[in-house]
Amino acid sequence: MDLMRSISIAASGLRAESGRMRVISENLANADSTARTAGGDPYRRKIVSFDSQLDRDLDAQTVTLGRIKRDTSAFRLEYEPGNPIADAKGYVKMPNVNPLVEQMDMREAQHAYEANLNVIGAARRMIARTLDILRG
Amino acid sequence: MSAAALAANAYTAAARKYGGDAAGLAAPNGGAKPDQSFGSLLAQAMDSVSETGKAADTAAVNSTTGRTDMIDVVTAVAESETAMQTLISVRDRVISAYEEIMRMAI
């Protein structure tokens, strides 16, 4: 039944968005994770991508979380001469995570998740209304 | 998914029986296949419903042990609920039609 398939497809959206949320929380949690040793790189921001995928059982395009890529932009530099992992000039490399950007990504993930939830709710209501005819 | 379709089939088969033969449920040559009575169709639908119910149960149990996604539980439960309600509606409908026939003055 198409409506049940819609629910399954929307569920794949929920799964993908929750994966995105996981990556965002990783980024936010590691916003201040520096390198372990001097000269090493700190945490590099992760970027999610979504893949559309043909689900043979459903005969429809569902969405999955694609490969998680790394943000190649430059690291922030903070002047901390006393830090043991600071470079010769006294700078410590900080992760290239911008909490504001993550906040916006999070909002986006939240809205996409809710949109998929609404699809599930609407499909369920449609099924229930159709069944109401049978109850008569 | 399949349970809902099966129940719908059962319903159409039952409806065809009523249309063709006023004697109703027990008529051997009523609707779809000669040996497929409404009872067996209903039994099939029942099996299918209990299967989706089992799937929902397994998903729920696995989620408590952290093996399944909560999303899987929600979809499995929604699916089994839909199948169940379809079956219940079909059953109620057929039984009320049967009672209607039994009330007929002869």
Q: Is the pLDDT of residue A20 over 80?
A: yes
Cross-strand pairs, A24: none
User: Which is more confidently placed, A60 or B6?
Assistant: A60
The span from the CA of A72 to the CA of A33, in Å, is 16
For residues A91 and A80, is the Cβ–Cβ distance under 8 A? Answer: yes
Q: Is the pLDDT of residue A44 over 50?
A: yes
Q: What is the ipTM of this complex?
A: 0.70
Which of B72, B75, B89 lies at the smallest CB-CB distance from A135?
Answer: B89
Which of B5, B71, B75 lies at the smallest CB-CB distance from A1?
Answer: B5
Farthest-apart Cα atoms in chain A, separation = 81
CA distances from A53 to A109, B75, B88 (A): 19, 19, 35
Q: Rounded to a whole number, what is the distance in Å from the CA of A6 to chain B's nearest CA?
A: 11
Whether residues A14 and B79 touch (CB distance < 8 A) is answered with no
Whether residues A134 and B11 touch (CB distance < 8 A) is answered with yes
For residues A12 and A63, is the Cβ–Cβ distance under 8 A? Answer: yes
Top-ranked range on mean pLDDT: pick from A110-124, B6-20, B66-80, B86-100: A110-124
Global pTM value: 0.73
